[in-house]
Structure 1
């Protein structure tokens, strides 16, 4: 299933933030140590340092253009802001084409949208 898969790792925070860097290392090391041929793309919402509503609008359009020709096979959302962004901006677009996983989400009950193909990653 994941052979030659494109994986999008969507972080709530920024590169250099210890949580984000640790998740990235774990995901990249897991695929490097496996026999699975994948391409991992990493995007950052920068939620700790940006104005969410204004920035999210621009980021949504940028990522939509960036991935319009090739949507990811798997999306991994790291933390609540990444999941909320995915659910509100991309769920309809990618849900039929992508498997969604998440990690670091505080509570499923606090999330705005429930997605059928949702799987939590236990760290």
Structure 2
């Protein structure tokens, strides 16, 4: 009977600590980069995300996955990466997934990467946006990159009205 009381006490303490840790668990955010860590553009995006979430560290944890698709092209590689990322994250509950650049968004749209609970997706750095990039996604929003050549030339002319040709190198 004495051991039973100790066992019951340990069980109650364990259950209480599990409940408490689940209530205090941080919300998880996954950043899915199209390219690799160390690429200046990728690192700048990560730095921006960190700047936003650093003050909120007590509430959120940010995780990163890198497709490395600039150095490893091809559908076979992306399919294997998608399978690995899905397997690796199959038990993780993310509040949101941030897709950085076209390849990450395309892979998410193809449903080759799956997540527990189908979290909303926010994308950034998307070039040549077309609705087909998000056609299979339910909860999605984001920022696209566009280039306005005429406005760029116009502001160049306003800033340097006396210049008629480009400098020779």
- Which TM-score applies when normalising by structure 1? 0.83
1:105 paired with 2:126, answer yes
Which structure shows the higher helix fraction? Answer: 2
Higher relative contact order (CA 8 A, sep 6+): 1
Report the equivalent of 1:17: 39
CA distance in 1, matches of 2:75, 2:63: 23
**Structure 1 stretches of 5 or more lacking a match?**
none
Q: Which deviates further from its counterpart, 56-65 or 31-40? A: 31-40
Higher Rg of the two aligned structures: 2
Give the secondary-structure state (helix, strand or coil) at the position aligned to 1:14.
coil
Number of equivalences: 119
Any runs of at least 4 consecutive aligned residues in structure 1 with deviations exceeding 4 A, and if so which? none
Query: How big is each residue's C-alpha offset from its partner over 1:17-65, in whole Å with a ceiling of 9 and x where there is no partner?
Result: 1110000001011000237611111111111110321211221121111
Structural RMSD (CA): 2.4
TM-score, with structure 2 as normaliser: 0.62
Question: 31-40 or 61-70, which moves further after superposition?
Answer: 31-40
Moved more, 67-76 or 28-37: 28-37
- Structure 2: runs of 5 or more not aligned: 1-24, 146-169
